[in-house]
Chains A and B, each alone.
Chain A
Amino acid sequence: MRAMITAITRRFGPEVPALVGFLAVVVAIFGLAAPRFLSLANFDSMAFQLPELGLLTLAMLVPIISGGLNLAIIYTANIAGLTLAWVLLQFGGAEAGPGAFVLGVAAALLVGAAAGAVMGLVIAHIGAHPILVSLAMMIFLRGLGEFLTRGGDISGFPSYLAPIGHGSVLGLPVPMLIFLVAALVWHVMLTRTRHGFAVYMIGSNIRAAAYSGLHTRRTLTLIYTLSGVLCAVAGILMLTRFNSVRVGHGEALLLITVLACFLGGVDPFGGFGRVLPVVLALVILQVLSSGLNLLGANQHLSTAVWGLFLIGVMILRWVAGKVGQGRKRKDL
């Protein structure tokens, strides 16, 4: 047992065993309290709800590891969704063919990448703080989107899009598949590629990274560009799930993505963080929310529980740190 935990810890990060344990406890409690919780239908509904927040959280994760933040994720997703909607409407709205959809997806990804690239270039070359740069981008995209849509919903899309948001393949919801692929790609990128390596180094000490010959500006630009691309994926998914686009949709998720990152053990000061613990944190948040919902609790209450949960986790980590220190006390 101990050997297995050590192996898991080494491969996926020290947070994983604790998060798995926590997940088991939460599932057990809700399983006992709400009989319907352990039903297939409930798992299915959770699997449809999680990917949207999940993709946005992955988009937030890498900027945080690099010592920054991307506050523009929601509106980047919205604007990308809007781009797809616009292309579809140009080709007849509900009558638009699959070719138009492919074109629209390409345009949406491009817009997401462009929004990210602009932020990345400004952060990398001007040295402005990512919070300020992404805040400015967020305000810009929100204003632009509301101006273009006049604050309303845009809808009327081809019916063949529905399976992307609501269908299943081999029993797995399509949105979940998209999220899992994205998570896998992000995991490999962070742990195995030179770009991922540079992300961690920059997050800990960008000047030392530059002194050692890492191309820090290119890395920063790529971090935000890829974050923008993932936002666009989330935006496309939102369009297919709700069959409409509205600027501001998902606004409440912005800080939840940050919460999920920190729950997953990402260092708020940069340099450390892994994909798997963050995915586990997302599942825990989803379980808490769905479980409370099944018990008939108000939706706002589950948001409150999320907040309490993070505070609890911080206290637990502090206690665990104290215990760990006590064991190897050395104080010269």
Chain B
Amino acid sequence: MTAAEPAADPAERTATESPALRLAHVSKLFGGVRALDDVAFALGRGEVHCLAGENGCGKSTLIKIVTGVHAPEPGAEIEIFGQPVTSVTPTLARGLGIAVIWQDLALFPEMTVAENIAFDTLVGGRPRGVNYRAMRGLAAGVLDRLGVGLDLDARLNTLPIADRQIVAIARALAGDARLIFMDEPTASLTQSETDSLLAIVRALSARGVAIVFVSHRLAEVLEIASRVTVLRDGRLVGVYPTAGMTQSRLTELMTGRQFSHAVRARDLAAERAVLVLDGLARRGEFEGIGLTIRAGEIVGLTGLIGSGRTELAHAVFGLTRPDAGTIRLDGRALELRSNRDAVAAGIAYVPEDRLALGLIQPQSIADNIVLSVLPGITGGAGLISEPARAGVVGHWLRELAIRIGRPSDPVSTLSGGNQQRVVLAKWLATKPRLLILDSPTVGVDVGAREGIFAIIRDLAAQGLAILLISDEVPEVYFNADRVLHMAGGRLVGEYDPRQITLAELEERIYA
């Protein structure tokens, strides 16, 4: 609480006659765990309000209490659109105009756009038959109000995520929602899709719909919301106007810790080149890529989603084969037939999708670590040596300070930050020369991100060459020695963080 200003009662700040939502003294216990502790929360009609905090801070519990999924402990005060409510049920919440759009959207992938939008109003709970004309009329009307054109008959699973998000919003509006909770709505959207979603949110707000926005992307939060409520460990830290708030200040409030933001770029031009790409191209993905990464250097690679960053990483890791150009590692030209060749040559790749590709979630922490070094722990008879295995696992758990219960626990039981450390352990065990990190902090709490970067900088100091791919321009700006900008499959700019401000760099990348 040291970093926080005294938290004013949020209900007093919304002076308008009756706020969309007012909560006071809300607590929730799960077993012995206090998920929420005397929390207050309020937002005015038509307000866009952000709920911020690290994973496990109580955001989801708060939403579930407002929507009637969980009952709060006695003593809580809940007022929805000026009406005091003693116990919220899901039906009552919906009736009062509250809707939640969860991150997984909870739509019906096999049904059409129109069916999804009209589901709560015209389809669900009606055994007698469905009026298809009324359904299409309702859906068309709502989409029209949102100002978007979608094919009413398209099956949902044929649409991109961004369009499904819009369908989810339309479904909430079709049920006359006046207060919408949006849980990480932009997590899987590209920059331009995010921009159009934010435009829709603004339009809704202008029509008097109140929106509670939950997002890990702080830049977005500060752009869209007028106020932000910060929770930490189930307690209210405070309510702050976003005007004048910075990302680093917000991070401090969320984590309760201070982070030093300084450019850490060093001049490593004299070091030996580890990776040299020359004229690397793959049709439809990228072309004319030439870059050098030196021993101990962190090279940041940024650009919008779809700029070819990940595709380039895949080619260097041997997952795809380039059509032209050369990949040299330590001066030796590589002919990669598969990623196994790349691993053998000393290249490691941490993929962006940690859940599906980075780790084998149901399997144990230990197995996920030794996965990449099986030959090294196999004894003479072709049997995996138990002591060698335990040795590798123990070494890396200590080295990367991974906090776990037991090495035999499934890796899925770990937090995002610790999972990412396991991925790093798996690759560092192969003693790589080049480490490619693709968006290493996606889904990792702000507080834990700093820990990941501390490890990455430490590895660079030991002479590892690192290619750091990220959406988040500040991440590469503060951690890389050089920043490369990729767009449309080409490298279009190279910047030294010491010679450009963050704002200028963001300007060039998002322009």
Residues of A within 8 A of B (CB): 10, 188, 192-194, 197-198, 200-201, 204-205, 207-215, 271-272, 329-332
CB-CB nearest in chain B for A188: B383
Q: What are 14 A-to-B residue pairs whose CB atoms are below 8 Å? A: A10-B408, A194-B378, A201-B371, A204-B362, A208-B357, A208-B359, A208-B360, A211-B339, A213-B340, A271-B362, A329-B30, A331-B30, A332-B30, A332-B58
Instruction: Please name all residues of chain B whose beta carbon is closer than 8 Å to the beta carbon of A197 when the two chains form the complex.
Output: 367, 371, 374, 384
Which of B358, B360, B408 contacts A204, CB < 8 Å? Answer: B360
In angstroms, how far is the closest chain A Cβ from the Cβ of B345? Answer: 11
Residue interface bits B424-435, CB-to-A below 8 A is 1, else 0: 001000100000
Q: B334-375: which residues lie under 8 A (CB-CB) from chain A?
A: 339-340, 343, 349, 351, 356-363, 367, 371-372, 374-375
In angstroms, how far is the closest chain A Cβ from the Cβ of B262? Answer: 34
How many angstroms between the C-alpha atoms of A32 and B33 in the bound complex? 51
Is B340 in contact with A215, judged by CB distance below 8 angstroms? yes
Is B31 in contact with A329, judged by CB distance below 8 angstroms? yes
Is A210 in contact with B363, judged by CB distance below 8 angstroms? no
Is A207 in contact with B383, judged by CB distance below 8 angstroms? no
Residues of B within 8 A of A (CB): 30-31, 33, 35, 56, 58, 60-61, 319, 339-340, 343, 349, 351, 356-363, 367, 371-372, 374-375, 378, 382-384, 408, 426, 430
Among the interface residues A197, A207, A213, which one has the most CB atoms of the partner chain B within 10 A? A213
Which of A188, A200, A207, A212 contacts B372, CB < 8 Å? Answer: A212
Is B374 in contact with A205, judged by CB distance below 8 angstroms? no
In angstroms, how far is the closest chain A Cβ from the Cβ of B34? Answer: 10
How many angstroms between the C-alpha atoms of A6 and B363 in the bound complex? 20
Instruction: Please name all residues of chain A whose beta carbon is closer than 8 Å to the beta carbon of B30 when the two chains form the complex.
Output: 329-332
Instruction: Please name all residues of chain A whose beta carbon is closer than 8 Å to the beta carbon of B362 when the two chains form the complex.
Output: 204-205, 271-272
Which of B58, B340, B363, B384 contacts A194, CB < 8 Å? Answer: B384
Is B363 in contact with A204, judged by CB distance below 8 angstroms? yes
In angstroms, how far is the closest chain B Cβ from the Cβ of A205? Answer: 5
In angstroms, how far is the closest chain B Cβ from the Cβ of A162? Answer: 36
Instruction: Please name all residues of chain B whose beta carbon is closer than 8 Å to the beta carbon of A192 when the two chains form the complex.
Output: 383-384
Is B31 in contact with A200, judged by CB distance below 8 angstroms? no
CB-CB nearest in chain A for B426: A212
Report the 7 A-B pairs with minimum CB-CB distance, sorted nearest first.
A213-B343, A192-B383, A205-B360, A194-B374, A212-B371, A204-B360, A204-B362
Instruction: Please name all residues of chain B whose beta carbon is closer than 8 Å to the beta carbon of A271 when the two chains form the complex.
Output: 360, 362-363
Among the interface residues B372, B375, B408, which one has the most CB atoms of the partner chain A within 10 A? B372
How many angstroms between the C-alpha atoms of A211 and B426 in the bound complex? 12
In angstroms, how far is the closest chain A Cβ from the Cβ of B381? Answer: 9
Q: A205-B356, A332-B35 are in contact. List 4 more A-B contacts (CB 8 A).
A: A194-B374, A200-B367, A204-B362, A330-B31
Instruction: Please name all residues of chain A whose beta carbon is closer than 8 Å to the beta carbon of B361 when the two chains form the complex.
Output: 204-205
How many angstroms between the C-alpha atoms of A207 and B357 in the bound complex? 6
